[in-house]
Homo-oligomer: A and B are copies of this chain.
Amino acid sequence: MSGASRLLQARAALSRVFEPSDNVGLALVEAAGPVDALRVVRGEISPGQELGNSVAGVLAAGGISGRGNRLSEAMQRWTPRIGDLAPERDLAAFARLGGELLIPEDPRWPGALRDLGLGMPLCLWVRGNLERGLPELGSTAAVVGSRDSTGYGVSVTGDLAAGLVTRGWTVVSGGAYGIDAQAHRAALAAAGTDRMPTIAVMACGSDRYYPAGNEDLLRAVAARGLLLSEVPPGSAPTRWRFLQRNRIIAALGAVTVVVEARWRSGALNTAHHAAALGREVGAVPGSVYSANSAGCHRLLRDGSAVCVTDAAEVIELGSPIGAADNPETAREGPKAAHDGLTIEDILLLDALPLRTGSAVGKLATVAGLSVPAVRAGLARLELEDLAVRDGPDTWRRRRK
């Protein structure tokens, strides 16, 4: 068996033993390498004091303080799962689905996930076209939100996802009902053939279509985008896996956008993961009467998120400063007549009548300016096409 195969099989097996973010397990892999870690887990190697110290060292470096022998405690929870390990069979079955196991030793492994530190997944069970690997962090946005979305949320999600994909970005989401489903759907609809439109990160095995009502959509994502999970094929989606899955969504996106979320919502969990990673977080505003926007407003209110209203603003938020077009520039619109005028000229313009002209002396009184200032101002306003002479010494405003 080649080294690469051994690594693949070891990580595939370990992903069946460790729950997501099993810190001790991940530290063991870092300390011993995946192949020897599996042998320790299987009881083929006795861990020994030295390895125990290494694991404690990795945990301490990851900010996790230990008490007692973490490794032997962990061995007890791993043991019930080591009987059924058959990584070769798992990999072969997954390959028949068109899937491939992506591991950190693979050059296609997304560098963005390394920001998770010790929480980086052991591996990713990926379905879809991996030829070019995963898209760069710089052009990936997570779009997440409530399952029980409103028509407003669905509509905004559709516009955001389509706008992102049209500009060459990839939309990452969680494959759930509501906002997630609409994000994937709109991304697929807007996609050409040259780019990866969308990635669904699952809390269950990526061989499963969960929830069942999204089966057709998730099949389409697997065919034209990527469907992936850190838990192995056949795994059920548990609460813990949902919560941990959110960190992968957050890590894959340069920016995480919450479109709709209730006051308590899993989407807020994804937003907090993103913030903890130093990623940008955007929240879409909505009606103050919509319970489905309360979570977004909460993020805006406590400063955890920036207000985003369209795809251009999401891209600006997710891009290094100055790299994206500034969406404000496009929106400035026509300037008003008085833009750029001095205070004196605004006073004078306000004093000029629209119909019958007014004498310079009268204008001085009305505007509160001296007579010389009125004469100088009239000359400027005439040049700007804002004032017109109406008689020997009378002026009125020029109608536009």
A80 contacts B371, C-beta separation under 8 Å: yes
Residues 71-88 of chain A, each 1 if its beta carbon lies under 8 Å from chain B, else 0: 001011111110000000
B313 contacts A307, C-beta separation under 8 Å: no
A370 contacts B76, C-beta separation under 8 Å: yes
A300 at the interface (CB under 8 A from B): yes
Partner of A350, one of B240, B300, B301: B240
A240 contacts B346, C-beta separation under 8 Å: yes
Tell me how far the C-beta of A307 lies from the nearest C-beta in chain B, rounded to whole angstroms: 4
Instruction: Give the docked Cα–Cα distance between A306 and B306 (Å).
Output: 11
Query: Given A77-B364, A239-B350, A369-B77, do A301 and B297 touch, yes or no (CB 8 Å)?
Result: no
- Counted per complex, copies of this chain come to 2
A1 at the interface (CB under 8 A from B): no
A388 at the interface (CB under 8 A from B): no
Partner of A285, one of B18, B293, B313, B371: B293
Residues in A327-357 with C-beta less than 8 Å from chain B? 328, 331-333, 336, 338, 343, 346-347, 349-351
Partner of A307, one of B19, B78, B301: B301
Instruction: Give the docked Cα–Cα distance between A350 and B349 (Å).
Output: 72
Query: Given A77-B370, A80-B364, A368-B22, do A288 and B239 touch, yes or no (CB 8 Å)?
Result: no
Q: Interface residues of A toward B: which range?
A: 35 or more
Main secondary structure of the interface of A (DSSP, over half): helix
Residues of B within 8 A of A301 (CB): 306-309, 313
The 7 closest A-B pairs by CB, nearest first: A76-B370, A285-B285, A238-B350, A300-B307, A288-B309, A80-B364, A77-B370
B-contacting residues of A (Cβ < 8 Å)? Answer: 17-19, 22, 73, 75-81, 152, 155-156, 238-240, 263-264, 284-289, 293-294, 296-298, 300-301, 306-310, 313, 328, 331-333, 336, 338, 343, 346-347, 349-351, 361, 364-365, 368-373
22 of the cross-chain contacts (CB-CB < 8 Å) are A22-B368, A75-B370, A76-B373, A77-B364, A77-B368, A77-B373, A79-B370, A80-B365, A81-B368, A238-B347, A239-B338, A239-B346, A240-B343, A240-B347, A263-B331, A264-B333, A285-B287, A285-B296, A285-B297, A286-B288, A297-B307, A301-B306
